[in-house]
């Protein structure tokens, strides 16, 4: 206490058994909430160590505990976490299910989340349909299963919770659509052109800010001459002397040096860095952004792209319509949307649509019901973080406990 060692000496009673046939002769009184048989730690110490273990796992946990003067090896910390009671989640009504990467993206497991309370329900060590089905079967009463469109979750839900409505998750639908859209845009890469002219010298760095003087002003200030110089430079006249003589005949009275100095940066960067066309990813980003939230400048750039390419124009229309269905829960319009997509020459989007049709009931439900496993995504990321904090040997059981209890 305050850096000093304090020894507490509580007095407890010792009981003796009067039954001579009893193997145990004496019993030591336990102080409720303070001690436990055979334990070298107080109850409070145990819970402190196991909480630290949940938060940080073995090695880091032991190190932090040591800072607080709590003795406990890495193994003690892990053992105390192990001894924690099994998590007992309430029976959920709406379950979100998704996969998580258990080791460097090579081994996958399944995470189940209560979509209504946003709490994790369980972690399964694999992503087999059978494992998910068994878990669902052990939890009767589930009415809705939100999942992505991976076949093992669809099958798992069909077998394990046959009466539950399956909902294809909107988050994944939108992500799949985004991927299909990007493939479409990539196919039309050659349609993406730079929207700004490439060789205007005012694009060269370190030039004076744009002037707004008329092309042939009559003033004698040098600044008034700059627009003319830039214009002539763009036309190909790069000789400073010639240009100086030109502006002199129009009333400029200054020296040649100013003209030469002004044109110098133009020579270092003879043409402006060519404006590059936007990348397919950038254009896809514009297409996937709600038109109302896309900044004006980007909206104009997108417009310039779409003017040049009817297919991308059509794609943008379809993405927008899908976004509307998805946000306004208009799943009933899906068949019409699919028909409209098929009418356009957009092979990548056709592939997406074929996938939707294979899972039509769940997709329609995903576009019509308010449930979404978007909350699961947060847990998938959290698992990744917890996993990263854990050192090599800590296994699945500890990971599961930490995810569910921490
Ligand atoms: Zn095109």
**pLDDT tens by residue, 313-372:** 999 999 999 999 998 989 999 999 999 999 999 999 999 999 999 999 999 999 988 887
Q: Poorest-confidence range of 21-30, 63-72, 199-208?
A: 199-208
Q: How far is the CA of 319 from the centre of ligand 1 (A)?
A: 16
Q: How far is the CA of 308 from the centre of ligand 1 (A)?
A: 7
Q: How far is the CA of 337 from the centre of ligand 1 (A)?
A: 21
pLDDT computed for residue 269 by the predictor: 64
Q: Average of pLDDT values for 43-69?
A: 77
Checking if the pLDDT of 217 tops 70, the result is no
Task: Read off the pLDDT of residues 187-211 as tens digits, 9 standing for 90 and up.
Answer: 999 988 765 433 333 333 333 333 3
pLDDT computed for residue 271 by the predictor: 55
Checking if the pLDDT of 58 tops 70, the result is no
Q: How far is the CA of 276 from the centre of ligand 1 (A)?
A: 17
pLDDT computed for residue 206 by the predictor: 32
Residue ranges covered by each domain of the chain: 14-82, 94-169+372-405, 171-185+280-368, 201-268
Q: How far is the CA of 245 from the centre of ligand 1 (A)?
A: 48
Q: Please give the CATH topology (third level) of the domain spanning 94-169+372-405.
A: Nucleotidyltransferase; domain 5 (3.30.420)
Output the pTM of the full model: 0.62
Task: Read off the pLDDT of residues 379-405 as tens digits, 9 standing for 90 and up.
Answer: 888 888 877 766 555 578 778 888 887
Hunting for tokens 């000496």 — which residue is that? 9
Q: Which residue has the higher pLDDT, 53 or 206?
A: 53
Q: Poorest-confidence range of 24-33, 158-167, 341-350?
A: 24-33
Q: Which residue has the higher pLDDT, 92 or 81?
A: 92
Q: How far is the CA of 280 from the centre of ligand 1 (A)?
A: 11
Q: How far is the CA of 346 from the centre of ligand 1 (A)?
A: 10
Please state, rounded to an integer, the average pLDDT across all residues of the chain: 82
User: Residue 214 — very low, low, confident or very high, per pLDDT cuts 50/70/90?
Assistant: very low
Task: Read off the pLDDT of residues 280-307 as tens digits, 9 standing for 90 and up.
Answer: 999 999 999 988 889 998 999 999 999 9
Q: How far is the CA of 187 from the centre of ligand 1 (A)?
A: 8
pLDDT computed for residue 46 by the predictor: 82
Q: How far is the CA of 184 from the centre of ligand 1 (A)?
A: 9
pLDDT computed for residue 160 by the predictor: 92
pLDDT computed for residue 197 by the predictor: 39
User: Residue 252 — very low, low, confident or very high, per pLDDT cuts 50/70/90?
Assistant: confident
Checking if the pLDDT of 102 tops 90, the result is no
Q: Average of pLDDT values for 151-177?
A: 90
User: Residue 159 — very low, low, confident or very high, per pLDDT cuts 50/70/90?
Assistant: very high
What proportion of the chain, given as a percentage, has pLDDT over 70?
88
Q: How far is the CA of 192 from the centre of ligand 1 (A)?
A: 8
Q: How far is the CA of 296 from the centre of ligand 1 (A)?
A: 23
């Amino acid at each position: 206490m305050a850096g000093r060692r304090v020894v507490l000496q509580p007095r407890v009673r010792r009981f003796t058994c009067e039954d001579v046939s009893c193997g145990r002769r004496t019993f030591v009184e336990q102080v409720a909430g303070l001690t436990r048989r055979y334990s070298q730690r107080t109850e409070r110490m145990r819970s402190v160590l196991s909480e630290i273990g949940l938060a940080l796992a073995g090695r880091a946990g032991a190190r932090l505990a040591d800072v607080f003067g709590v003795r406990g090896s890495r193994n003690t910390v892990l053992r105390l976490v192990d001894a924690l009671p099994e998590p007992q989640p309430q029976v959920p009504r709406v379950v979100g299910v998704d996969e998580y990467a258990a080791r460097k993206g090579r081994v996958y497991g399944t995470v189940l989340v209560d979509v209504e309370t946003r709490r994790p329900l369980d972690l399964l060590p694999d992503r087999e349909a059978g494992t998910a089905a068994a878990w669902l079967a052990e939890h009767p009463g589930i009415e809705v299963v939100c999942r992505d469109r991976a076949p093992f979750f669809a099958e798992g839900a069909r077998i394990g919770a046959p009466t539950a409505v399956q909902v294809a998750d909107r988050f994944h639908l939108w992500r799949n659509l985004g991927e299909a859209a990007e493939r479409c845009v990539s196919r039309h890469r050659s349609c993406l052109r730079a929207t700004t002219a490439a060789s205007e010298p005012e694009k060269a760095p370190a030039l004076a800010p744009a002037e707004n003087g008329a092309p042939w002003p009559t003033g004698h200030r040098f600044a008034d001459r700059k627009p003319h110089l830039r214009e002539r430079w763009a036309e190909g006249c790069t000789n400073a002397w010639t240009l100086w003589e030109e502006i002199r005949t129009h009333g400029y009275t200054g020296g040649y040096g100013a003209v030469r100095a002004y044109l110098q940066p133009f020579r270092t960067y003879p043409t402006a860095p060519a404006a590059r066309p936007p990348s397919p990813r950038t254009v896809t980003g514009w297409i996937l952004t709600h038109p109302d939230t896309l900044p004006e400048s980007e909206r104009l750039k997108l417009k310039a792209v779409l003017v040049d390419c009817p297919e991308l124009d059509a794609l943008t229309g379809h993405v927008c319509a899908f976004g509307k269905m998805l946000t306004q829960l208009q799943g009933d319009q899906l068949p019409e949307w699919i028909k409209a997509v098929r009418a356009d020459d957009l092979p990548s989007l056709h592939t997406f649509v074929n996938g939707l049709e294979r899972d039509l009931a769940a997709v329609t439900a995903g576009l019509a019901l308010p449930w979404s496993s978007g909350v699961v995504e947060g847990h998938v990321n959290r698992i990744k973080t917890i996993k990263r904090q854990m050192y090599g040997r800590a296994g699945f059981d500890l990971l599961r406990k930490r995810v569910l209890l921490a």
